[in-house]
Structure 1
Amino acid sequence: MNVAAMIKLCVAMAIFGSIGFFTIHTGIPAVELVFVRCICATLFLGGMWFVTGGHKTEVWDKKELGKTIICGVFIVSNWVFLFKAFEQMSISIAISIYNLAPIFVLIFGAVLLAEKMGMYSIFATLICFVGSIFIVGIDNFTSLEDFFSSGFVWALLSAICYALTMFTSKTIHGLSAYALTFVQTIVGIIMLFPLCDFTVFSGLTTSNWIYILGTGIIHTGFVYYLFFDSIRNLSTVVVSVLVFVDPVVAILLDAILLSFRPSLLQTFGILLIFGSILYTVFSPEQKVVVHEQEKGASS
C-alpha cells in the first residue's frame, strides 16, 4: 500500500470538498469563474509540465488529441453546471446529486458499450433517483417553474457531464496527465471566452479575488497535480473509496460554516444516494469487472 499516494489523494479530495464554499464567496457567476479557473490551471499545470520536462517526451496522436478535446468540453461544462447549481441550492444537495456520476457511467456503459447491467445495479440506480427527489424536495416538483429554479437540473447536468468525462477519458491512454489537463483547460478558455461578461470583475473586493484565485490555483492546479500524481500508484478500489472524502468534507463545511440543516427527508435522500453509489462501486459484479480490467492492464 502506497501511503504517500493515499495521503496525497486524501488531501486533494479534502481540498476539492471546499470548492462549493469558495465558489459562493467569489462574487462572480459560474461561466466567468470557470474561465478564470481554466486560465489558472493552464498556467499552473502547464508550468509543472514544462518544469518536469514532460513536454519533451510527450507523444501526440491525432485521434487521442481529438478525444481529449471532446473530454475537455465535457469537463468544462461539468464545472459550469456544478457552479450554477451552487448558486441555486445548498452545497450539500448539489454535491449529493453531482456524485451520481458513477451511476451514469454504469448506464452509459450499458447503453453505448452493451456492458451487462445486473438487476441489483438497476435497482441501485432507481434508489439514487428516488433519493435525488427526496433531497431536492418533492414540493419543487409540483410545477416546471419551481423544478427548474431549484437548481436540480444544473446539478444533474453536472453529474452527467462528469460521467461523460470519466467515460471518455477511459479511452485516452497515450497522453500524460499533464498534457491531458493542459489541453482540456485550453479548450475551456476557448469555449468560455465569447460567453464571459468581463464587467462582473469590476468592483470586486480583495476577499472576492482571494476566493477566485483560490478556486483556480488551489482547487484546480494544485488539486489536479496531487490527484494525477497519486491515482497512478493506487488500486481502483482504494481510489473509489478515497474520492468520497470530497462529498463528506463538502457536506460538513456546509453544515458547520454555512449552517445547512437538512430535513429528515433530505437526510434520508442523501443516505439513499451514497448508499446506492457505494453498493454500485463495491458490488460483486463490479469487482469482477475491475479485476478483469486490472488483469488486462498488467498482462
Structure 2
Amino acid sequence: MNISAMLKLTIAMAIFGSIGFFTIHTGIPAVELVFVRCICATLFLGTMWYITGGHKTEKWDKKEVGKTLICGVFIVLNWVFLFKAFEEMSISIAISIYNLAPIFVLMLGAVLLAEKMTIQGIIATVICFLGSILIVGIEHFQSIDQFFNSGFIWALLSALFYALTMFTSKTINGLSSYALTFVQTTVGIVMLLPFCDFTVFQGLTTSNWLFIFGTGIIHTGFVYYLFFDSIRNLSTVIVSVLVFVDPVVAILLDVLILSFKPSLLQVLGIALIFGSILYIVFMPTQKVVAHEKTSSS
C-alpha cells in the first residue's frame, strides 16, 4: 500500500472539499472562473516544472499526449458544469450529485471495456439515481423547466465528466504529474478564451480576487498536481474511497459555515447515494477476500 500516494490524495480531496465555499465568494460566473483557474494553474505548474528541472527530462509520447489533451477537455468541462451547479443549488446537494462519478465509472467500464455489471451494481445504480432525485427536492418543482433550471443537470454533467477524467487519467503513465496538469490547464485556456466575458471582472473586491486566485493556485494547480501524482499509484478501490473526503469536507463547510439545513428527504437522498457507492466500492473486495479465505483453507 502506497502511504505517500494515499496521503497526497487525502490532502487533495480535503482541500478540494472547500472549493464550493471559495467559488460562491469569487463573484464571477463559472466559465470566467474556470478560465482564470486555468491561467493560474498553468503559471504555477509551469514554474514548478521549470524549477524542478522536470521539463528537461520529460519524455513525450504522441499517444500519451493525445490522451492528456482529451482528459484536459473532460476536466475543464467537469469544472464548468460543477461551478454552474453551485450557482443554482446548495453546495451539499451539488457535491452529492457530483459524487455519482464512481457509478458513471462503473457504467463506462461496462460500455467501453465490456466489463460485466453485477445485479448488485445495477441495483446500487438505481438507488443512487433515486437518491439524487430526493436531494434535488423534486417534490417542490411544478414543471419540467423548473426542474432543469434547478442545477440538477449541471451537477449530473459534472459527475459524468469527472468520471471520464478519472477513467482517462488512469491510462496515462508516461508523463510526469507536472506535464500532465500543465497540458490540461493549457487546454482549458484555449477552450474557454472565446467564451469569456471580461466585463465580469470589473468592480471586483480584494476579497473576490483572493478567492479567485485561491481557486486557481490552490484548488487547481496544487490540488490537481497531488491528484494526478497519487491516482496513478493507487488502486481504483482506494481512489474511490478517498474521494469521499471531498464531499465530507464540502457538506461540513456548507452546514457549519453557510448554515445549510437539509430536509429529511435530502438527508435520505445523500445517505442513499453514498451508501450505494460505498457498497459498490467494497463489495468486490469482500468477494475477493472471501474467495482467498476459501482457497487458503
CA gap 1:231/1:112 in 2 versus in 1, 3 angstroms: closer
Q: Is the 8 A contact 1:140 1:150 kept in 2?
A: no
Q: Please report the TM-score for the alignment, with normalisation by the length of structure 2.
A: 0.92
User: What are the equivalent positions in structure 2 for 1:75-224 lying under 5 Å apart?
Assistant: 75-140=75-140, 142-224=142-224
Partner of 1:291: none
| In structure 1, distance between residues paired with 2:113 and 2:97 | 24
CA gap 1:72/1:277 in 2 versus in 1, 3 angstroms: same
AA in 1 matched with 2:65: L
CA gap 1:214/1:287 in 2 versus in 1, 3 angstroms: farther
Give how far 1:9 is off.
2.8
Q: Is the 8 A contact 2:102 2:240 kept in 1?
A: no
Give how far 1:282 is off.
1.5
- Secondary structure of residue in 2 paired with 1:172: coil
Give how far 1:10 is off.
2.4
Give how far 1:7 is off.
3.6
| In structure 2, distance between residues paired with 1:192 and 1:200 | 15
| In structure 1, distance between residues paired with 2:285 and 2:147 | 35
AA in 1 matched with 2:22: F
Q: Is the 8 A contact 2:79 2:158 kept in 1?
A: yes
Q: Is the 8 A contact 2:69 2:187 kept in 1?
A: yes
| In structure 2, distance between residues paired with 1:48 and 1:210 | 21
Q: Is the 8 A contact 1:90 1:260 kept in 2?
A: yes
RMSD of aligned residue pairs (Cα, Å): 1.8
User: What are the equivalent positions in structure 2 for 1:266-285 lying under 5 Å apart?
Assistant: 266-284=266-284
**Higher alpha-carbon deviation: 234-243 or 95-104:** 234-243
Q: Please report the TM-score for the alignment, with normalisation by the length of structure 1.
A: 0.91
Q: Is the 8 A contact 1:141 1:147 kept in 2?
A: yes
Stretches of 4+ aligned residues off by more than 6 angstroms: none
- Secondary structure of residue in 2 paired with 1:171: coil
| In structure 2, distance between residues paired with 1:32 and 1:130 | 33
Partner of 1:71: 71
1:21 aligns with 2:21: yes
1:57 aligns with 2:54: no
| In structure 2, distance between residues paired with 1:71 and 1:47 | 22
Count of residue correspondences: 288
| In structure 2, distance between residues paired with 1:69 and 1:286 | 36
| In structure 2, distance between residues paired with 1:195 and 1:236 | 35
Q: Is the 8 A contact 2:173 2:232 kept in 1?
A: no
AA in 2 matched with 1:86: F
Give how far 1:189 is off.
0.1
**Higher alpha-carbon deviation: 184-193 or 57-66:** 57-66
| In structure 2, distance between residues paired with 1:216 and 1:287 | 42
| In structure 1, distance between residues paired with 2:227 and 2:171 | 19
Partner of 1:261: 261
| In structure 1, distance between residues paired with 2:165 and 2:229 | 19
Partner of 2:247: 247
Q: Is the 8 A contact 1:19 1:219 kept in 2?
A: yes
Q: Is the 8 A contact 1:102 1:163 kept in 2?
A: yes
Partner of 2:291: none
- Structure 2 gaps of 5+ residues are 289-297
| In structure 1, distance between residues paired with 2:225 and 2:179 | 12
CA gap 1:111/1:237 in 2 versus in 1, 3 angstroms: closer
**Higher alpha-carbon deviation: 79-88 or 222-231:** 222-231
Partner of 2:11: 11
CA gap 1:41/1:53 in 2 versus in 1, 3 angstroms: same
Give how far 1:175 is off.
1.5
Q: Is the 8 A contact 1:280 1:286 kept in 2?
A: no
CA gap 1:79/1:59 in 2 versus in 1, 3 angstroms: same
Summarize deviations over 1:88-139 as a string: whole Å, max 9, x none.
Answer: 0000000000000010011111112211110100000000000000000122
- Secondary structure of residue in 2 paired with 1:223: helix
| In structure 2, distance between residues paired with 1:276 and 1:134 | 14
| In structure 2, distance between residues paired with 1:189 and 1:212 | 15
Q: Is the 8 A contact 1:103 1:125 kept in 2?
A: yes
Partner of 1:292: none
